[in-house]
Protein backbone atom coordinates (compact mmCIF):
# COMPACT_ATOMS: atom_id res chain seq x y z
CA UNK A 1 0.00 0.00 0.00
CA UNK A 2 1.27 3.47 -0.89
CA UNK A 3 0.92 6.47 1.46
CA UNK A 4 1.45 9.69 -0.47
CA UNK A 5 3.18 12.80 0.85
CA UNK A 6 0.98 15.06 2.95
CA UNK A 7 2.49 18.33 1.70
CA UNK A 8 0.05 19.13 -1.11
CA UNK A 9 -2.97 17.94 0.85
CA UNK A 10 -2.12 20.02 3.89
CA UNK A 11 -1.44 23.08 1.73
CA UNK A 12 -4.89 22.79 0.20
CA UNK A 13 -6.32 22.50 3.71
CA UNK A 14 -4.52 25.75 4.59
CA UNK A 15 -6.18 27.51 1.66
CA UNK A 16 -9.54 26.22 2.82
CA UNK A 17 -9.24 27.70 6.30
CA UNK A 18 -7.92 31.07 5.12
CA UNK A 19 -11.41 32.21 4.15
CA UNK A 20 -12.74 31.06 7.49
CA UNK A 21 -10.24 33.21 9.39
CA UNK A 22 -11.39 36.24 7.42
CA UNK A 23 -14.98 35.42 8.36
CA UNK A 24 -14.24 35.15 12.08
CA UNK A 25 -11.92 38.16 12.29
CA UNK A 26 -14.74 40.46 13.33
CA UNK A 27 -16.05 37.86 15.80
CA UNK A 28 -12.62 37.48 17.42
CA UNK A 29 -12.26 41.24 17.73
CA UNK A 30 -15.69 41.48 19.35
CA UNK A 31 -14.85 38.67 21.78
CA UNK A 32 -11.61 40.34 22.86
CA UNK A 33 -13.57 43.55 23.47
CA UNK A 34 -16.09 41.57 25.55
CA UNK A 35 -13.76 39.19 27.35
CA UNK A 36 -15.48 36.82 29.80
CA UNK A 37 -15.35 37.76 33.46
CA UNK A 38 -15.78 35.62 36.55
CA UNK A 39 -17.93 36.61 39.52
CA UNK A 40 -19.38 34.76 42.50
CA UNK A 41 -22.86 34.78 44.00
CA UNK A 42 -23.29 35.21 47.74
CA UNK A 43 -23.37 31.43 48.23
CA UNK A 44 -20.04 31.04 46.41
CA UNK A 45 -21.42 29.76 43.09
CA UNK A 46 -18.98 30.92 40.38
CA UNK A 47 -20.52 32.72 37.39
CA UNK A 48 -18.69 33.33 34.11
CA UNK A 49 -20.33 36.11 32.12
CA UNK A 50 -19.68 37.24 28.56
CA UNK A 51 -21.58 39.87 26.63
CA UNK A 52 -22.48 38.94 23.06
CA UNK A 53 -24.93 41.14 21.18
CA UNK A 54 -25.06 38.98 18.04
CA UNK A 55 -28.62 37.94 18.95
CA UNK A 56 -31.30 38.59 21.55
CA UNK A 57 -30.73 35.15 23.07
CA UNK A 58 -29.26 34.24 26.44
CA UNK A 59 -27.52 30.91 27.10
CA UNK A 60 -26.83 29.55 30.59
CA UNK A 61 -24.74 26.42 31.09
CA UNK A 62 -24.47 24.84 34.53
CA UNK A 63 -21.61 22.51 35.42
CA UNK A 64 -22.10 20.09 38.31
CA UNK A 65 -18.86 18.44 39.38
CA UNK A 66 -18.79 14.72 40.09
CA UNK A 67 -20.10 13.05 36.96
CA UNK A 68 -19.59 9.36 36.26
CA UNK A 69 -16.41 9.19 38.33
CA UNK A 70 -18.47 9.92 41.46
CA UNK A 71 -20.96 7.13 40.84
CA UNK A 72 -20.75 4.35 43.45
CA UNK A 73 -19.70 0.97 42.08
CA UNK A 74 -22.50 -0.84 40.29
CA UNK A 75 -24.63 2.30 39.86
CA UNK A 76 -23.70 3.21 36.30
CA UNK A 77 -26.00 5.94 35.00
CA UNK A 78 -26.67 7.53 38.41
CA UNK A 79 -25.09 10.84 37.41
CA UNK A 80 -27.17 11.22 34.24
CA UNK A 81 -30.34 10.05 36.00
CA UNK A 82 -29.94 12.56 38.85
CA UNK A 83 -29.17 15.39 36.45
CA UNK A 84 -32.19 14.53 34.31
CA UNK A 85 -34.53 14.42 37.31
CA UNK A 86 -33.16 17.75 38.58
CA UNK A 87 -34.67 19.56 35.57
CA UNK A 88 -37.75 17.39 35.00
CA UNK A 89 -40.54 19.95 34.58
CA UNK A 90 -43.34 19.15 37.05
CA UNK A 91 -46.47 20.08 35.08
CA UNK A 92 -47.69 20.52 31.53
CA UNK A 93 -48.60 24.18 32.00
CA UNK A 94 -44.97 25.09 32.67
CA UNK A 95 -43.88 23.08 29.63
CA UNK A 96 -46.29 25.01 27.42
CA UNK A 97 -45.23 28.30 28.97
CA UNK A 98 -41.57 27.59 28.19
CA UNK A 99 -42.42 26.54 24.62
CA UNK A 100 -44.27 29.82 24.06
CA UNK A 101 -41.19 31.68 25.28
CA UNK A 102 -38.96 29.66 22.89
CA UNK A 103 -37.01 28.24 25.84
CA UNK A 104 -35.18 24.95 25.46
CA UNK A 105 -32.82 22.89 27.56
CA UNK A 106 -30.42 19.98 27.22
CA UNK A 107 -28.25 17.94 29.54
CA UNK A 108 -25.53 15.33 29.60
CA UNK A 109 -23.16 13.62 31.98
CA UNK A 110 -19.42 13.10 31.49
CA UNK A 111 -16.56 11.50 33.34
CA UNK A 112 -15.97 14.39 35.78
CA UNK A 113 -19.13 16.49 35.61
CA UNK A 114 -22.67 16.92 34.33
CA UNK A 115 -23.93 19.80 32.18
CA UNK A 116 -27.34 21.48 32.05
CA UNK A 117 -27.86 24.11 29.35
CA UNK A 118 -30.75 26.58 29.08
CA UNK A 119 -31.35 28.77 26.05
CA UNK A 120 -34.05 31.44 25.93
CA UNK A 121 -34.98 34.80 24.50
CA UNK A 122 -33.24 37.39 26.64
CA UNK A 123 -36.57 39.03 27.40
CA UNK A 124 -37.70 35.74 28.96
CA UNK A 125 -34.59 35.16 31.08
CA UNK A 126 -36.23 35.89 34.42
CA UNK A 127 -39.24 33.67 33.74
CA UNK A 128 -36.93 30.85 32.58
CA UNK A 129 -34.68 31.17 35.62
CA UNK A 130 -37.63 31.26 37.99
CA UNK A 131 -38.99 27.96 36.65
CA UNK A 132 -35.74 26.01 36.33
CA UNK A 133 -34.10 27.30 39.53
CA UNK A 134 -37.19 26.28 41.47
CA UNK A 135 -37.05 22.78 39.98
CA UNK A 136 -33.27 22.36 40.34
CA UNK A 137 -33.25 23.37 44.00
CA UNK A 138 -36.20 21.19 44.97
CA UNK A 139 -36.52 18.31 42.48
CA UNK A 140 -39.17 15.66 42.88
CA UNK A 141 -37.65 12.16 43.08
CA UNK A 142 -40.89 10.22 43.00
CA UNK A 143 -41.10 6.57 42.00
CA UNK A 144 -43.18 7.46 38.95
CA UNK A 145 -40.61 9.98 37.70
CA UNK A 146 -37.70 7.65 38.39
CA UNK A 147 -39.33 4.83 36.44
CA UNK A 148 -40.07 7.16 33.53
CA UNK A 149 -36.43 8.29 33.36
CA UNK A 150 -35.19 4.70 33.63
CA UNK A 151 -37.38 3.72 30.66
CA UNK A 152 -36.01 6.65 28.69
CA UNK A 153 -32.42 5.68 29.56
CA UNK A 154 -33.07 2.10 28.46
CA UNK A 155 -34.26 3.52 25.14
CA UNK A 156 -31.08 5.61 24.87
CA UNK A 157 -29.02 2.48 25.56
CA UNK A 158 -30.68 0.86 22.54
CA UNK A 159 -29.92 3.89 20.39
CA UNK A 160 -26.28 3.69 21.45
CA UNK A 161 -26.12 0.01 20.59
CA UNK A 162 -27.41 0.72 17.07
CA UNK A 163 -24.50 3.04 16.26
CA UNK A 164 -21.24 1.22 15.56
CA UNK A 165 -19.15 4.29 16.42
CA UNK A 166 -20.76 4.50 19.87
CA UNK A 167 -20.40 0.76 20.37
CA UNK A 168 -16.72 0.97 19.48
CA UNK A 169 -16.11 3.95 21.74
CA UNK A 170 -17.72 2.27 24.74
CA UNK A 171 -15.66 -0.86 24.08
CA UNK A 172 -12.48 1.24 23.95
CA UNK A 173 -13.33 3.07 27.18
CA UNK A 174 -13.95 -0.28 28.88
CA UNK A 175 -10.73 -1.76 27.47
CA UNK A 176 -8.62 1.14 28.74
CA UNK A 177 -10.37 2.10 32.00
CA UNK A 178 -12.21 -1.06 32.99
CA UNK A 179 -15.15 -0.59 35.36
CA UNK A 180 -14.13 2.83 36.67
CA UNK A 181 -16.33 5.86 36.05
CA UNK A 182 -14.44 6.67 32.88
CA UNK A 183 -15.16 3.27 31.36
CA UNK A 184 -18.96 3.20 31.47
CA UNK A 185 -21.95 4.40 29.45
CA UNK A 186 -23.62 7.52 30.83
CA UNK A 187 -26.95 5.68 30.44
CA UNK A 188 -25.86 2.76 32.60
CA UNK A 189 -26.84 -0.86 31.99
CA UNK A 190 -30.02 -2.85 32.48
CA UNK A 191 -28.61 -4.25 35.73
CA UNK A 192 -27.37 -0.92 37.12
CA UNK A 193 -30.67 0.86 36.46
CA UNK A 194 -32.52 -1.83 38.41
CA UNK A 195 -30.15 -1.31 41.32
CA UNK A 196 -30.58 2.48 41.60
CA UNK A 197 -33.23 3.51 44.13
CA UNK A 198 -34.72 6.84 45.16
CA UNK A 199 -32.44 7.19 48.20
CA UNK A 200 -29.38 6.73 45.97
CA UNK A 201 -30.55 9.57 43.74
CA UNK A 202 -31.30 11.82 46.73
CA UNK A 203 -27.86 11.18 48.25
CA UNK A 204 -26.09 11.84 44.95
CA UNK A 205 -28.07 15.03 44.44
CA UNK A 206 -27.22 16.32 47.93
CA UNK A 207 -23.52 15.57 47.38
CA UNK A 208 -23.16 17.19 43.96
CA UNK A 209 -25.76 19.96 43.57
CA UNK A 210 -24.03 22.42 45.88
CA UNK A 211 -22.81 25.92 45.09
CA UNK A 212 -19.16 25.08 45.72
CA UNK A 213 -19.37 22.06 43.39
CA UNK A 214 -21.05 23.97 40.55
CA UNK A 215 -20.24 26.69 38.04
CA UNK A 216 -22.40 28.66 35.64
CA UNK A 217 -21.52 30.34 32.34
CA UNK A 218 -23.86 32.98 30.88
CA UNK A 219 -23.54 34.53 27.43
CA UNK A 220 -26.09 37.23 26.73
CA UNK A 221 -26.79 40.53 25.04
CA UNK A 222 -28.03 41.78 28.41
CA UNK A 223 -25.72 43.83 30.64
CA UNK A 224 -23.80 41.97 33.32
CA UNK A 225 -25.48 43.88 36.16
CA UNK A 226 -28.93 42.71 35.13
CA UNK A 227 -27.85 39.11 34.52
CA UNK A 228 -25.95 38.81 37.81
CA UNK A 229 -28.86 40.35 39.73
CA UNK A 230 -31.22 37.71 38.32
CA UNK A 231 -28.79 34.89 39.07
CA UNK A 232 -28.35 36.17 42.60
CA UNK A 233 -32.13 36.32 43.02
CA UNK A 234 -32.83 32.79 41.82
CA UNK A 235 -29.65 30.75 42.41
CA UNK A 236 -28.32 32.03 45.72
CA UNK A 237 -30.33 29.44 47.67
CA UNK A 238 -28.19 26.54 46.44
CA UNK A 239 -26.50 25.23 49.62
CA UNK A 240 -22.74 25.49 50.11
CA UNK A 241 -20.32 23.23 51.92
CA UNK A 242 -19.04 19.73 51.26
CA UNK A 243 -20.83 16.47 51.94
CA UNK A 244 -18.61 13.41 51.84
CA UNK A 245 -19.32 11.52 48.59
CA UNK A 246 -19.89 7.80 48.44
CA UNK A 247 -16.89 5.67 47.55
CA UNK A 248 -16.20 5.12 43.87
CA UNK A 249 -13.63 3.30 41.75
CA UNK A 250 -10.53 5.49 41.36
CA UNK A 251 -9.14 6.32 37.94
CA UNK A 252 -5.40 6.10 37.47
CA UNK A 253 -4.21 8.90 35.21
CA UNK A 254 -3.21 7.59 31.81
CA UNK A 255 -3.47 3.93 32.84
CA UNK A 256 -4.46 1.25 30.38
CA UNK A 257 -5.41 -2.36 30.71
CA UNK A 258 -3.42 -4.98 28.85
CA UNK A 259 -3.72 -4.06 25.16
CA UNK A 260 -6.60 -5.97 23.63
CA UNK A 261 -8.05 -6.94 20.29
CA UNK A 262 -11.82 -6.99 20.62
CA UNK A 263 -14.37 -8.16 18.06
CA UNK A 264 -18.03 -7.22 18.54
CA UNK A 265 -20.45 -8.95 16.20
CA UNK A 266 -23.11 -6.72 14.66
CA UNK A 267 -25.45 -7.62 11.82
CA UNK A 268 -24.53 -5.01 9.26
CA UNK A 269 -22.81 -4.76 5.89
CA UNK A 270 -20.40 -2.17 7.25
CA UNK A 271 -17.57 -2.53 9.71
CA UNK A 272 -15.95 -0.17 12.22
CA UNK A 273 -12.23 -0.50 12.88
CA UNK A 274 -10.98 1.53 15.84
CA UNK A 275 -7.59 1.90 17.47
CA UNK A 276 -7.34 3.76 20.78
CA UNK A 277 -4.57 4.93 23.07
CA UNK A 278 -4.71 6.17 26.67
CA UNK A 279 -3.90 9.81 27.43
CA UNK A 280 -2.41 11.33 30.58
CA UNK A 281 -4.17 13.61 33.07
CA UNK A 282 -5.33 16.98 31.79
CA UNK A 283 -2.94 19.91 31.75
CA UNK A 284 -2.92 22.98 29.51
CA UNK A 285 -0.03 21.63 27.44
CA UNK A 286 -1.44 18.09 27.19
CA UNK A 287 -4.86 19.43 26.15
CA UNK A 288 -3.38 21.50 23.33
CA UNK A 289 -1.17 18.64 22.12
CA UNK A 290 -4.08 16.18 22.18
CA UNK A 291 -6.32 18.58 20.27
CA UNK A 292 -3.57 19.12 17.70
CA UNK A 293 -2.92 15.39 17.31
CA UNK A 294 -6.65 14.73 16.86
CA UNK A 295 -6.78 17.29 14.04
CA UNK A 296 -3.58 16.05 12.42
CA UNK A 297 -4.78 12.47 12.40
CA UNK A 298 -8.39 12.57 11.29
CA UNK A 299 -10.14 15.91 10.88
CA UNK A 300 -11.02 16.26 7.23
CA UNK A 301 -9.05 16.55 3.97
CA UNK A 302 -5.30 16.67 4.46
CA UNK A 303 -5.34 14.66 7.68
CA UNK A 304 -3.22 11.50 7.93
CA UNK A 305 -6.26 9.20 7.75
CA UNK A 306 -7.87 10.98 4.83
CA UNK A 307 -5.84 9.08 2.24
CA UNK A 308 -7.48 5.81 3.34
CA UNK A 309 -10.75 7.26 2.10
CA UNK A 310 -9.81 9.46 -0.85
CA UNK A 311 -6.89 7.53 -2.36
CA UNK A 312 -6.88 3.97 -1.06
CA UNK A 313 -10.70 3.68 -1.15
CA UNK A 314 -10.62 1.58 2.00
CA UNK A 315 -13.17 3.59 3.99
CA UNK A 316 -16.20 5.79 3.53
CA UNK A 317 -15.57 7.59 6.81
CA UNK A 318 -12.40 8.32 8.78
CA UNK A 319 -12.03 10.26 11.99
CA UNK A 320 -9.99 10.83 15.13
CA UNK A 321 -11.47 11.85 18.45
CA UNK A 322 -10.03 12.78 21.82
CA UNK A 323 -12.14 12.14 24.92
CA UNK A 324 -10.40 14.17 27.62
CA UNK A 325 -11.26 13.71 31.27
CA UNK A 326 -9.55 15.29 34.26
CA UNK A 327 -7.51 12.27 35.35
CA UNK A 328 -6.96 10.63 31.96
CA UNK A 329 -8.39 10.29 28.47
CA UNK A 330 -8.33 8.35 25.22
CA UNK A 331 -7.45 9.11 21.62
CA UNK A 332 -9.37 7.11 19.01
CA UNK A 333 -8.48 6.77 15.34
CA UNK A 334 -11.17 4.91 13.45
CA UNK A 335 -12.68 4.21 10.06
CA UNK A 336 -15.89 2.74 8.70
CA UNK A 337 -15.66 0.46 5.71
CA UNK A 338 -17.31 -2.33 3.73
CA UNK A 339 -17.18 -5.60 5.65
CA UNK A 340 -15.30 -7.14 2.71
CA UNK A 341 -12.47 -4.61 3.18
CA UNK A 342 -12.10 -5.01 6.94
CA UNK A 343 -8.77 -6.83 6.86
CA UNK A 344 -7.10 -4.44 4.42
CA UNK A 345 -8.57 -1.38 6.15
CA UNK A 346 -7.37 -2.59 9.55
CA UNK A 347 -3.82 -3.08 8.31
CA UNK A 348 -3.88 0.31 6.57
CA UNK A 349 -5.04 2.03 9.77
CA UNK A 350 -2.25 0.37 11.74
CA UNK A 351 0.27 1.44 9.10
CA UNK A 352 -0.77 5.11 9.19
CA UNK A 353 -0.44 5.20 12.98
CA UNK A 354 2.85 3.27 12.96
CA UNK A 355 4.25 5.59 10.29
CA UNK A 356 3.41 8.67 12.37
CA UNK A 357 4.87 7.05 15.48
CA UNK A 358 8.11 6.01 13.81
CA UNK A 359 8.78 9.03 11.60
CA UNK A 360 6.94 11.87 13.30
CA UNK A 361 6.16 14.91 11.19
CA UNK A 362 7.99 17.86 9.69
CA UNK A 363 7.85 21.59 10.37
CA UNK A 364 5.61 22.41 7.42
CA UNK A 365 3.02 19.82 8.36
CA UNK A 366 3.08 21.07 11.95
CA UNK A 367 2.42 24.67 10.94
CA UNK A 368 -0.43 23.63 8.65
CA UNK A 369 -1.93 21.50 11.43
CA UNK A 370 -1.70 24.43 13.87
CA UNK A 371 -3.60 26.70 11.48
CA UNK A 372 -6.35 24.17 10.78
CA UNK A 373 -6.62 23.26 14.49
CA UNK A 374 -7.04 26.90 15.44
CA UNK A 375 -9.73 27.27 12.77
CA UNK A 376 -11.54 24.21 14.09
CA UNK A 377 -11.47 25.53 17.67
CA UNK A 378 -12.86 28.91 16.62
CA UNK A 379 -15.51 27.32 14.43
CA UNK A 380 -16.70 24.95 17.14
CA UNK A 381 -16.98 27.79 19.66
CA UNK A 382 -18.54 30.42 17.42
CA UNK A 383 -22.08 30.07 18.80
CA UNK A 384 -23.17 31.10 22.29
CA UNK A 385 -24.21 27.60 23.37
CA UNK A 386 -20.91 25.96 22.39
CA UNK A 387 -18.80 28.72 23.91
CA UNK A 388 -20.69 28.69 27.21
CA UNK A 389 -20.19 24.92 27.43
CA UNK A 390 -16.48 25.25 26.71
CA UNK A 391 -16.06 27.85 29.48
CA UNK A 392 -17.49 25.55 32.15
CA UNK A 393 -15.89 22.39 30.75
CA UNK A 394 -12.49 24.07 31.11
CA UNK A 395 -13.48 24.83 34.71
CA UNK A 396 -14.47 21.19 35.24
CA UNK A 397 -11.18 19.92 33.81
CA UNK A 398 -9.19 22.19 36.13
CA UNK A 399 -7.89 24.41 33.28
CA UNK A 400 -10.00 27.44 34.20
CA UNK A 401 -12.40 29.35 31.96
CA UNK A 402 -9.62 31.77 30.97
CA UNK A 403 -7.82 28.94 29.17
CA UNK A 404 -10.27 29.66 26.35
CA UNK A 405 -8.44 32.93 25.62
CA UNK A 406 -5.03 31.29 26.03
CA UNK A 407 -5.70 28.33 23.76
CA UNK A 408 -4.59 29.91 20.48
CA UNK A 409 -1.42 31.33 22.03
CA UNK A 410 -0.51 27.97 23.58
CA UNK A 411 -1.28 26.24 20.28
CA UNK A 412 1.02 28.55 18.30
CA UNK A 413 3.80 27.97 20.86
CA UNK A 414 3.90 24.20 20.17
CA UNK A 415 7.25 23.18 18.71
CA UNK A 416 8.04 20.28 16.42
CA UNK A 417 9.97 18.65 19.26
CA UNK A 418 6.93 19.02 21.58
CA UNK A 419 4.52 17.29 19.22
CA UNK A 420 6.88 14.55 18.07
CA UNK A 421 7.71 13.73 21.70
CA UNK A 422 3.98 13.60 22.47
CA UNK A 423 3.41 11.25 19.52
CA UNK A 424 6.18 8.96 20.79
CA UNK A 425 4.63 8.95 24.24
CA UNK A 426 1.05 8.25 23.09
CA UNK A 427 1.07 6.22 19.87
CA UNK A 428 3.34 3.32 20.76
CA UNK A 429 1.85 0.31 18.88
CA UNK A 430 2.16 -1.93 21.94
CA UNK A 431 -0.16 0.43 23.85
CA UNK A 432 -2.96 0.29 21.27
CA UNK A 433 -6.37 -1.21 21.84
CA UNK A 434 -8.02 -2.53 18.66
CA UNK A 435 -11.81 -2.83 18.38
CA UNK A 436 -13.66 -4.18 15.36
CA UNK A 437 -17.46 -3.93 15.16
CA UNK A 438 -19.09 -5.74 12.28
CA UNK A 439 -20.54 -8.96 10.87
CA UNK A 440 -19.05 -12.30 11.74
CA UNK A 441 -16.26 -13.39 9.42
> What is the model's pLDDT at position 244?
59
Which value, in Å, is the radius of gyration of the alpha carbons in the chain? 23
Domains assigned to the chain: 7-28+253-438 (3.30.830.10), 36-235 (3.30.830.10)
User: Quick check: 323 and 173 in contact, CB under 8 A?
Assistant: yes
Q: With 60 as the cut, is the pLDDT of residue 188 above it?
A: yes
- Local confidence band at 99 (pLDDT 50, 70, 90 cut-offs): confident
Tell me the per-residue pLDDT of 20-37, one tens digit each, with 9 for 90 and over: 444 444 445 444 558 999
What's the pTM? 0.89
What is the phi/psi pair of residue 191, to 5°? Answer: -70, -45
Q: Roughly what angle, to the nearest 10 degrees, separates helices 125-137 and 224-235? A: 30
Q: How confident is the model at residue 243 (pLDDT cuts 50, 70, 90)?
A: low
Which residues, at least 6 apart from 290, have a Cβ–Cβ distance to it below 8 Å? Answer: 279, 322, 324, 329, 331
Distance CA 302, CA 306 (A): 6
Give the contacts of 225 (CB within 8 A, at least 6 positions apart).
Answer: none
Predicted confidence at residue 21, as pLDDT, reads: 46
The H or E element containing residue 1 is none
Contact 242, 210 (CB under 8 A): yes
Give the pLDDT confidence score for residue 252 in this predicted structure. Answer: 53
Give the mean pLDDT of 326-337: 95
Q: Looking at the chain, how many residues does it have? A: 441
* Ordered alpha helix ranges (H), 311-428: 342-359, 363-380, 384-396, 403-412, 416-426
Residues contacting 140, CB < 8 A, separation 6+: 85, 88, 90
The pLDDT value given to residue 170: 94
**For position 202, what pLDDT does the model report?**
96
Q: What is the pLDDT of residue 256?
A: 47
Of 11-20, 126-135, 184-193, 315-324, minimum mean pLDDT range:
11-20
Rounded to an integer, what distance in angstroms lies between the CA atom of residue 416 and that of residue 343? 33
Are 332 and 318 spatial neighbours (Cβ–Cβ below 8 Å)?
no
**Nearest residue to 59 (alpha-carbon basis) of 393, 388, 378, 379:** 388
The 10s digit of each residue's pLDDT in 8-19 is 555 454 445 444
Who wins on pLDDT, 255 or 300? 300
Q: pLDDT tens-digit profile of 361-413?
A: 999 999 999 999 999 999 999 999 999 999 999 999 999 999 999 999 999 99
Mean pLDDT for 254-260 is 53
Residues 436/263, Cβ–Cβ less than 8 Å: yes
Amino acid sequence: MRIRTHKSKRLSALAGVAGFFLAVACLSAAESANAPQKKSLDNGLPVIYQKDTASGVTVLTFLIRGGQKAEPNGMDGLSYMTTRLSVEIPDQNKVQDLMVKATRYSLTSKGDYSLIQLECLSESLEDTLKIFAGIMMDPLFSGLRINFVKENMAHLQNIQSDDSVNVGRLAQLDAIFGKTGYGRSIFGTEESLKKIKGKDIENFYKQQFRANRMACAVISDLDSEKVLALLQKYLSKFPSGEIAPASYAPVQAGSAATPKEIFIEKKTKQCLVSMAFSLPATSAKAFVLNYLLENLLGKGPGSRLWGLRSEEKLAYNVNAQVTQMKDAGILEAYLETDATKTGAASEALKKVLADLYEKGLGEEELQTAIVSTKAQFLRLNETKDKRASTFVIFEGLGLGYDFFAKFSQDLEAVTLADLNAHIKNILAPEKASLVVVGPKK
